[in-house]
Structure formats: C-alpha cells, structure tokens
C-alpha cells in the first residue's frame, strides 16, 4: 500500500450574472504538488444552464472552459500561464475573480489514487 498524497481541488463554476451570485458547478481542478499532477475536466448541464436568464452564449462558456483546461494541461493553447510550473498554474486557475468563470476556494485531502479521487469528486460535485 502506497503512502497517500496530499492534494487540493477546486470546483469550477459558471456565474451567469455575477451580481446575483448564482452559479452552476461545471468542472473540477485537482492538483498534487508532490506528483506534479493537475487535471481539469468540465461538463455543462445545458438544461440547467438554460434555466438562467443570461446573455452569455453556451459556446462562449465552453471556449472559456477549454482555455482553463489547456492552461491546466500546460499545453501551448494555455498561453504563457500554461507554460508555468504545475503549482503556479493551479494557483492562477483558482485565483479569486469576479467573472463568468469562477472557482471555489481550494479544499485539501489525501489520496492513494489521484485519478480515482478526481472521478469520485467530479461525480459528486459536478454531475
């Protein structure tokens, strides 16, 4: 049995009208410094999204989320931020912002299986 890894995660939210502070959980970012692990996935429940009276287009939100995902992956599509080290990318993605895309405060935990933990949290918090 391997030693558990300390990880942090944050829920990604779409906030259609920032002034109303209503949101929909649409994604998850999980990070483990020791393992140099970062993963971001998203799924938008379109029927929930359409319940909000919003001027934001669903396709625009998907584009923003794909940008978050590219930054987390550290690929060229993530721009300059995507080229930073894993902890810096996680901190940038989870920085407090007042915009359509926001994240929860990071939460910590221990896991022996980071992918399994990601899947469990994604199921519980996003789907």
> pTM for this one?
0.94
Query: What ranges do the domains of the chain cover?
Result: 5-125
Residue 19 CA to residue 37 CA, distance in Å, equals: 34
Whole-number Å distance between alpha carbons of 100 and 26: 12
The per-residue pLDDT for range 43-81, each reduced to its tens digit, is 999 999 998 877 889 999 999 999 999 999 999 999 999
pLDDT digits (tens, 9 = 90+) for 90-119: 999 999 988 899 999 999 999 999 999 999
Pair 39, 72: CB distance under 8 Å: yes
Question: In Å, how far are 4, 39, 76, 85 from 27, measured between CA atoms?
Answer: 24, 10, 21, 21
């Amino acid at each position: 049995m391997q030693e558990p890894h300390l990880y942090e995660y944050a829920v990604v939210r779409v906030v259609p009208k920032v002034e109303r502070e209503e949101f929909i959980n649409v994604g998850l970012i999980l990070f483990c410094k020791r393992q140099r692990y970062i993963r971001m996935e998203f799924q938008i429940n379109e029927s929930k999204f359409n319940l909000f009276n919003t001027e934001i287009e669903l396709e625009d939100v998907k584009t923003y989320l794909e940008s978050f995902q590219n930054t987390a992956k550290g690929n060229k599509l993530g721009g300059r931020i995507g080229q930073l080290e894993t902890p810096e990318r996680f901190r940038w993605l989870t920085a407090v912002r007042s915009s359509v895309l926001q994240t929860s405060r990071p939460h910590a935990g221990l896991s022996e299986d980071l992918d399994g933990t990601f899947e469990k949290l994604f199921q519980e918090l996003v789907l």
